[in-house]
Amino acid sequence: MKDNKKEYKYNSNQNSEINGKITQNKHFEYRPKFATYLKSEGDKKRYHSDKRKFSFRNKRKNGFRKSRSKGVDPNKFIKKAIIKIEEKKYIPSLDFQNLQIHEQIKKNLIYRNYISPTPIQDQAIPLVMDERDVFGLANTGTGKTAAFLIPLIDKVAKNPKQKVLIIAPTRELAEQISQELVLFSKFMKIYYVLAIGGRNIRDQIVHIAKPHNFIIGTPGRIKDLYERGYLKFQDFQTIVLDEVDRMLDMGFIDDIKYIASKLPPQRQTLFFSATSTKEVEEVVHLFLKDYVKISVKTGDTIDNVDQDVVWLDSESEKTTALINFLENHYSEKIIVFVKTKMRVDTLEKELSARGFKISAIHGDRSQFFRRKALKNFKDGYTNILLATDVASRGLDIKDVTYVINYDAPENFDDYVHRIGRTGRAGKSGNALTFVVK
């Protein structure tokens, strides 16, 4: 008697939605929802990925980056969004309009529709105003930037001689912080210098020579400017390290230790991070002594993201799967994460040739083009952003409905931060990961 159990192998010459069957074997489950992604062989354009015989690590000035884990169990990429029926509403103890801050800051907050502080803002702002050292631990997308910018702008407004150094892991995040600073300090004559790679260092040196209150930059460029003698750490009364865990992930540990060794002992130091690891705690102890730790993590940031996997037979099917998905979601705002810069460039050409509105960023693109690509994506001129992990942390882009992991991340932390670009500010989101069997 024939066994009734159905076993299925994906046939690239057949559209599986014709019979609408759930395809299944002991290794994987292929859902009919995704069966239309892979069309006939005649429609395919084979995508030649940049496979290499050698596995190399990212070089930095101080040596090789520590190698990562080989991969993540694909089952971890499958999870339904948690619908929170009853969620206890946070009642802040502060009110922005009753806060003892500069009146113009209050006006700027009203203009930006800031009514009630988030938990991290509610707890951090009074401590920063009291000039305490703070280690803030909070989920991404919870308002950490405003938690330190609002009191520091007030600090500078009360004493224009104050100088603040803000260090972020990526150019994009540093630029985003500078944009927030401009909006919060509108009409207040507060000046800043953006010190990041990808921009002419001579222009930054010229601006540093002029009066300023804030320096916002990345560790490498900050260190470079100090070593050239244009930046003097003893001039800063306050230092902020944002996304500390990401800095360590990116291999900035030596730069961070170097900067810590050169800072004046009498200073206010603020640390903000999405996660707390042994490595993060070690760096915290280098910078902070008598500090207050705030933890307002309310569970996984990915709880409201619907996550699933698209199983494929080979690497060559990825592009066809992506194209068919994008064709069926042409009005959605989508971020596609790709493993390497070469893959981003190749995929950008293929998708652009098919008429998709594409922005793309990776580490080899100049800062001008990275900034332009992000602006086009944010403003809706393009609806698809191709990116390496440079965009997986810190960027706050509204209304991203899908994150697609074209290449699966190498560790689960990277996965969490990638899909954290969707489902932000209490909204729901979706994440799909392409996995080759």
pLDDT at 377 over 50: yes
pLDDT given for residue 391 in this prediction: 63
Predicted confidence band of residue 81 (pLDDT cuts 50, 70, 90): low
pLDDT given for residue 90 in this prediction: 80
**Sequence-separated (6 or more) residues with CB below 8 Å from residue 139:** 274, 296, 297, 298, 301
**Across 23-29, average pLDDT:** 37
Residue-wise pLDDT tens digits, 29-72: 333 334 344 444 443 333 333 333 333 334 333 333 333 335 67
**Across 202-210, average pLDDT:** 96
pLDDT at 13 over 50: no
pLDDT given for residue 333 in this prediction: 95
Average pLDDT in the chain = 81
pLDDT given for residue 298 in this prediction: 58
pLDDT given for residue 45 in this prediction: 37
Residues of the chain with CATH 3.40.50.300: 16-82+303-436, 98-295
Instruction: Kindly tell me the sign of the dihedral angle through the C-alpha atoms of 141, 147, 152, 157.
Output: positive
332 class by beta-carbon count within 10 Å (0-12 exposed, 13-18 middle, 19+ buried): middle
pLDDT at 4 over 90: no
pLDDT given for residue 392 in this prediction: 63
Q: Highest mean pLDDT: which of 276-280, 374-378, 411-415, 417-421? A: 374-378
Residue-wise pLDDT tens digits, 332-373: 999 999 999 999 999 999 999 999 999 999 888 887 888 899
Q: Looking at per-residue confidence, does 22 or 247 come out higher? A: 247
Return the amino acid letter for 168: A
For tokens 């998905």, name the residue: 325
**Measured between alpha carbons, how far is residue 218 from residues 116, 167, 195, 212, 221 in Å?**
31, 5, 7, 18, 6
Domain 16-82+303-436 has CATH 3.40.50.300: yes
Residue-wise pLDDT tens digits, 149-188: 999 999 999 999 999 999 999 888 999 999 999 999 999 9
**Across 407-422, average pLDDT:** 85
**Across 240-268, average pLDDT:** 89
pLDDT given for residue 274 in this prediction: 82
Residue-wise pLDDT tens digits, 104-142: 999 999 999 998 999 999 999 999 999 999 999 987 778
Strand partners, 404: 336, 432
Q: Highest mean pLDDT: which of 169-178, 213-222, 386-395? A: 213-222
> What are 82's two structure tokens?
């948690």
As a dihedral over the C-alpha atoms of residue 237, residue 242, residue 246, residue 252, rounded to 10 degrees, the angle is -20
Q: Highest mean pLDDT: which of 57-66, 204-213, 249-258? A: 204-213
> What are 17's two structure tokens?
């939605």
Please enumerate, as own/partner, the contacts of 352-356 that have beta carbons within 8 Å and a separation of 24 or more: 354/323, 356/326, 356/384
Q: What's the CATH code, domain 98-295? A: 3.40.50.300
Predicted confidence band of residue 82 (pLDDT cuts 50, 70, 90): low
Query: What is the phi/psi pair of residue 12, to 5°?
Result: -70, -15
Crossing angle of helices 103-111/144-158, nearest 10°? 150
pLDDT at 238 over 50: yes
**Across 297-310, average pLDDT:** 75
**Across 272-280, average pLDDT:** 86
75 class by beta-carbon count within 10 Å (0-12 exposed, 13-18 middle, 19+ buried): exposed
Q: What is the DSSP string of 127-144?
A: HHHTT-EEEEE--TTS-H
Of 185-189, 314-318, 394-398, the range with the lowest mean pLDDT is 394-398
